[in-house]
Structure 1
Amino acid sequence: MADAHGEARRIGERIRRARVLQRRSQHDVAAALGYHQSKVSRLESGRGTEDIRVLRAIAQELNIPPHELGLAPSQDVSAADQEADDMHRRTFLAASIAALAAPAGSSASHTALVQALLPGPGPAGTGGPRDTAVLYERVGSALRLFHTCHYTELERTLPSLIADLRMATSDATDRDLVSRLLATAYQTTTSLLLKQHDQGNAWLAVGRAMAEAERSGDPVVLASSVRVQAHVLVREKHATEAVTLVRHTADQLTGSYDRRSPKYLAAVGLLLLRGVTAASSLGDRAATKEFLSEAKEVSRYVTLDRPDAWATFSPTNVALHELSALVAFGDAGLALQAARPLMRRHIPVPERRAALWVEAARAYSQQGRLADGYQALRIAETCAAQDIRRPDVRHLVADMAARDRRRTLPELHHFSRQLGVPA
């Protein structure tokens, strides 16, 4: 395992050295290859080196002998041997890095989900029909499990769903549709892994999502994949790159909203809201305001707040992200002012309802109103019990309990112990 990590870092350093010797910037190299600068940055830090196609492209662009990046020289091997060699190396690196990233004591469901992301044979499928209509319904069901915060069931469902979708790609008459469905399944997997703070395997999932989105040629699916990729970047402390990625992609998709389908508008809107999250995490008020303004413009053409998988973008969701941004900036008073009308509004998606009360709890905590923060968290628990047990919220509860040094709120400390994070 350590050898794989060391090999990835060595490859990244070799790429960086070749680029610097040629006095070229990461942006310049990425532009020449048709990639975003963040891809080159990741490669140089030793991440993403299991992508053989990208390694071959960058080796050619920087005149790096293929063997120095662990690639077989194409003139010395047959195409079949080269493909087998590439697959073997990709499987080894991906499996090793995934194993290193997997949290200790992973459940069987989590292990199966990670296996489903790796190249080569994954978990067994259901053996059921691979009709695209059936697969479409199954992907929709997985999305509903995510939005209703049934994460345990979702983790059990995804491996066989991904396996069946991968099998369907080999014999489907509508290959583009299956790719869209598979990209959506990988996007959902990425979001679930991020909820669990498993960023290492989230990188694997989002890489799969991007590949299938590009294969499908569907701008809606591509926008959704870019959105989850930006989420991973923010979690990995690359918020600046996330803002750039969202801005670049949104610029390609915005305009003529009155002539776009609801799904298209939802994808663009959700992408812009990811920009709000990334920009506010940087403390960039100007960029946050810009993304919010654009998202509000898009929301004018999305009139319904519905729990459909594609309709989680709405004026309500825009308001929730504005609330989250205010909390990120430490504007607790303004955040609670923005939260009050939302508390009286019908929010059909449990994950979004819970998010409202968690953000309110953060704002109360910033003001030192621990009792109000505790009550907000208990309301969030009634909306989505499993969502309250994710690491972000558990850390919030532990922090609040630690600040109650005189133990004036025994119920808060009891809640903290229930979540396994006693102060």
Structure 2
Amino acid sequence: MADAQEEARRIAERIRRARVSQRRSQHDVAAALGYHQSKVSRLESGRGTQDIRVLRAVARELDIPPHELGLAPPQDVSAADQEADDMRRRTFLSASIAALTAPAGSPPSHTALVQALLPGADPPGTGDPQDTAVLHDRVASALRLLHTCHYAELERALPGLIADLRQAADDATNRDTVSRLLATAYQTTTSLLLKRHDQGTAWLAVGRAMAEAERSGDPVVLASSVRVQAHVLVREQHATQAVTLVRHTAGRLAGSYDRRCPQYLAAVGLLLLRGVTAASRLGDRAATQEFLTEAKDVSRYVALDRPGAWATFSPTNVALHELSALVAFGDAGLALRAAQPLMRRPIPVPERRAALWIETARAYSQQGRLADGYQALRIAESCAAQDIRRPDIRSLVADMAARDRRRTLPELHHFSRQLGVPT
């Protein structure tokens, strides 16, 4: 424990010296990163210095070599992770231009997905029936693949689905219905691209989702599109704008929950949970609590917790986001206490089960309990093998391994190599 405290003080002092040498205020650095000033203040006082995501962002902003903050150096992170970091800094325009030509080495499925999102001529369809009921089932199947973390299969299925939906939209007399399905397909695409850390193409997908949602005139579909747009904003370090967007949209949809249909309630609830994520990234405890309180109110009236459901929202989902917020605030002890009852609760959706153990691993890492963190990650892998290979999880594993300087956990280093992140 003494070693961990000393390490936290050393990192805090290094951050403070870098900021002062550049003659920048805490507010200036926080604003550049999309955080609240309290986040930087906590770091410089030695609190929250185990939050790897924040440390990486601060290191980039203040030009601090990663190893000086106890992070894995750049050469220890895969090329895919470095490309993902570049994606975060792209604007919508540059992302759209970049999408015109898929990056060299991209798998055929990713190239096809990018091309399916481009404006202009419609991509070739699958030749499958265009009946609305069939298309509805195919969209539901795509959502199921997302919730069960079958990302490779989903990436192969989406281009043909989008093409068929676009063709159906051109031919259909029930344009509003097809627009709802198409918006949902674009929302699913956005979520997948964010899982892949391809924020550049995600901007393109969410733009199409918003256009179709507005065309449908359905407030449920619009709320879902706003939710994924807020997700992209948070990933692009625009959490303040995400909080404003969620608060404005949710404010128009809130109330009368006892008289709303399950789909409406799930859409509003998930939107509020996106607000929880955005506000906690800012270090704004008041806004986080505001969104959580409203989400808990919604969850009293609905529980859609199946992999095949149109949306996965329930009291369990609210509790998982509360856990994630505690981790974001650096309240590792409270987070681990919040995780305990969730570990005993059945969670049908694999993505959610994996999220529980990933956030638990982050909390253990914040406490310097690397062995426990490693075990939590292996449990997460058993829940959703593809989910654990996301760039942000590989980065977490790399940084945990880098902090095991005496190599007392050979299994952690072996796991890191298995994920393609040598240490």
Note the alpha carbon deviations across 1:166-187, whole angstroms, 9 max, x for none: 0000111211000000000000
1:4-403 superposed matches below 5 A: 47-48=91-92, 96-99=97-100, 104-303=104-303, 305-403=305-403
Q: Which runs of 4+ in 1 moved over 4 A?
A: 45-49
User: Who is 1:69 aligned against?
Assistant: none
Cα distance in structure 1, aligned partners of 2:190 and 2:104: 19
User: Who is 2:85 aligned against?
Assistant: none
Cα distance in structure 1, aligned partners of 2:374 and 2:124: 43
Deviation at 1:47, TM superposition (A): 4.4
Cα distance in structure 2, aligned partners of 1:412 and 1:223: 41
CA 1:185–1:260: 2 relative to 1, 3 Å: same
Structure 1 alignment gaps of length 5 or more: 1-44, 50-92
CA 1:236–1:94: 2 relative to 1, 3 Å: closer
SS in 2 for 1:310: coil
Cα distance in structure 2, aligned partners of 1:411 and 1:122: 49
Cα distance in structure 1, aligned partners of 2:281 and 2:293: 17
Cα distance in structure 2, aligned partners of 1:113 and 1:305: 28
Deviation at 1:105, TM superposition (A): 2.1
Counterpart residue identity of residue 321, structure 1: H
Contact 1:94–1:118 (CA under 8 A) maintained in structure 2: no
Cα distance in structure 2, aligned partners of 1:311 and 1:157: 19
Contact 1:115–1:122 (CA under 8 A) maintained in structure 2: no
Deviation at 1:48, TM superposition (A): 4.6
CA 1:95–1:322: 2 relative to 1, 3 Å: closer
Note the alpha carbon deviations across 1:298-320, whole angstroms, 9 max, x for none: 00001453334334110000000
Cα distance in structure 2, aligned partners of 1:123 and 1:400: 43
Contact 2:194–2:202 (CA under 8 A) maintained in structure 1: yes
SS in 2 for 1:113: helix
Superposition RMSD in Å: 1.5
Query: Greater RCO between the two (CA within 8 Å, min separation 6)?
Result: 2
Counterpart residue identity of residue 314, structure 1: S
Deviation at 1:124, TM superposition (A): 1.6
CA 1:300–1:390: 2 relative to 1, 3 Å: same
Counterpart residue identity of residue 257, structure 1: Y
Larger radius of gyration: 1
Length, aligned pairs only:
335
Contact 1:350–1:384 (CA under 8 A) maintained in structure 2: yes
SS in 2 for 1:312: coil
Cα distance in structure 2, aligned partners of 1:94 and 1:139: 26
TM-score (norm 1): 0.77
Note the alpha carbon deviations across 1:281-327, whole angstroms, 9 max, x for none: 00000000000000000000014533343341100000000000000
Note the alpha carbon deviations across 1:26-46, whole angstroms, 9 max, x for none: xxxxxxxxxxxxxxxxxxx99
CA 1:356–1:103: 2 relative to 1, 3 Å: farther
Cα distance in structure 2, aligned partners of 1:384 and 1:217: 35
Contact 1:168–1:178 (CA under 8 A) maintained in structure 2: yes
Greater CA drift, 223-232 or 116-125: 116-125
Contact 1:148–1:384 (CA under 8 A) maintained in structure 2: yes
CA 1:171–1:122: 2 relative to 1, 3 Å: closer
CA 1:103–1:354: 2 relative to 1, 3 Å: farther
CA 1:223–1:340: 2 relative to 1, 3 Å: same
CA 1:207–1:303: 2 relative to 1, 3 Å: closer
